[in-house]
Chain A
Amino acid sequence: GAGVSQTPSNKVTEKGKYVELRCDPISGHTALYWYRQSLGQGPEFLIYFQGTGAADDSGLPNDRFFAVRPEGSVSTLKIQRTERGDSAVYLCASSQRGATLYNEQFFGPGTRLTVL
């Protein structure tokens, strides 16, 4: 079956620009997660959705980062006024139900963002 997909696979932008990264979770998965993986680091939690609402956004680094999931399926991570330090691989994961890690998170291949 189809896994988690993310588009684009690569995004190059200039400092100060706005970017949107898209995640299509596995069909029927109600929980969706965004992580950021910087070079040489493990994935770092950004935000978690249960359905349409952000249940935990404690990992968003500042107010330039925002994510939505308006219909409880596809999610978009939005970054305003990008900075070079935002360069990383952005990972999306989904699971059947959230609120507990008992349900396996399935990860997408990621979007590599490069800010010049």
Chain B
Amino acid sequence: AQSVTQPDIHITVSEGASLELRCNYSYGATPYLFWYVQSPGQGLQLLLKYFSGDTLVQGIKGFEAEFKRSQSSFNLRKPSVHWSDAAEYFCAVGGDRDDKIIFGKGTRLHILP
């Protein structure tokens, strides 16, 4: 069955510190992988996506993610977080013959001043 696991419900980091949000997926074919961010009162915004090619993908707002097929992972990273990064982050998976995205339960990121 297709699924996404985000093992951390909450993550707290200090402003300026590095960040890694974990994501593991289960998918029966070549996956399309996504990271979305959801800020209070705002819609989901796509941070980055992986379809094929280079396994390290760059996104908006200084985020990047690395696809590791052997580990079925697609972790999100940022070298230095800003207070404005506080939000909920969702990892998601789909496929080239899919018309729907399967989302994880999300990780809420808190930033300490």
User: Which residues of A are in contact with B by a Cβ distance under 8 Å?
Assistant: 3-4, 33, 40-45, 48, 55-56, 59, 91, 93, 98-102, 104-110
Q: Is the CB of A45 within 8 A of B101?
A: yes
User: Which residues of B are in contact with A by a Cβ distance under 8 Å?
Assistant: 4, 32, 36, 41-46, 49, 51, 90, 92, 94-106
Q: Is the CB of A110 within 8 A of B100?
A: no
Most chain A beta-carbon contacts within 10 A, residue among B36, B96, B103: B103
In the assembled complex, which residues on chain B have CB atoms less than 8 Å from the CB atom of A102? 32, 51, 96
Summed over the interface, the residue pairs from A and B with CB atoms below 8 Å come to a total of 61
Q: Is the CB of B96 within 8 A of A100?
A: yes
Q: Is the CB of B99 within 8 A of A99?
A: yes
* Chain A interface mostly: loop
A104: which of B41, B42, B46, B105 is its contact (CB, 8 Å)? B46
Q: Is the CB of B100 within 8 A of A59?
A: yes
Most chain B beta-carbon contacts within 10 A, residue among A40, A41, A100, A101: A101
In the assembled complex, which residues on chain A have CB atoms less than 8 Å from the CB atom of B98? 100-101
